[in-house]
Structure 1
């Protein structure tokens, strides 16, 4: 249940990021409103899974450079997770996440991280 809640929070954060001019677009599920919502939920589930599996490994491996940059390298890790999500979504037919250049994707990753942290804190999905 916790994974579903985190996926829904991240899906809303992705939707918020697509409303901003950051060259972030989600295609797929244009038939009905619920298929569009499922497309965002699928992307949210992919990001939540990558955050649970890949992000801890990258965080440990990049710990020295994260310490040297006073934590700013964590944004690059978030960018990589968003880029990896876009690559995974290109491999399926149901949904596609298209991203822009490096800086726009970095800002989109920052917006998604901030929005999901705020919403997760309000809903209590980040509690251990």
Structure 2
């Protein structure tokens, strides 16, 4: 149940990012297709983060220490951009245009919103 709630929180965060951040677009008019797309993109983002982020942190631990963790913003932006690219390759109507304005801000926004939704939904 926890994984499903986390997936829904991430999907909502992705949907909100398409409304708030310029350069992150959900190009469909159908509400069903929008919901399906953000759920699939949330799954892609979870898989990309789950597989690549531990490898990147292990290999680049020196860079993380040297930059006091600020490189994590760049890494998260790259993973967000990779998620947008994979979504494009799967012909999903989700696009991330650009690294600095869209990908880095989008990754930061999705992380904060997912964290906040996790706090709200984690009521016992």
Shift of 1:97: 2.3
Counterpart in 2 of 1:102? 99
Q: Provide Cα deviations, 1:42-83, integer angstroms capped at 9, x if missing partner.
A: 101111111221111112112111111111111111111111
- RMSD (Å), alpha carbons: 1.8
Shift of 1:124: 2.7
Counterpart in 1 of 2:63? 65
Q: Which runs of 4+ in 1 moved over 4 A?
A: none
Instruction: Summarize the alignment of residues 1-128 of structure 1 with structure 2, pairs less than 5 Å apart.
Output: 1-28=1-28, 30-31=29-30, 33-93=31-91, 95-104=92-101, 105-124=103-122
- The 2-side partners of 1:115 and 1:16 are apart by 9
Provide the TM-score with structure 1 as the length reference: 0.84
Which consecutive residues of structure 1, in runs of 5 or more, have no partner in the other structure? Answer: none
SS in 1 for 2:23: coil
- The 1-side partners of 2:12 and 2:95 are apart by 17
Structure with more of its chain in helix, by fraction: 2
SS in 2 for 1:11: helix
Matched residue count: 122
SS in 2 for 1:81: helix
Provide the TM-score with structure 2 as the length reference: 0.87
SS in 1 for 2:90: coil
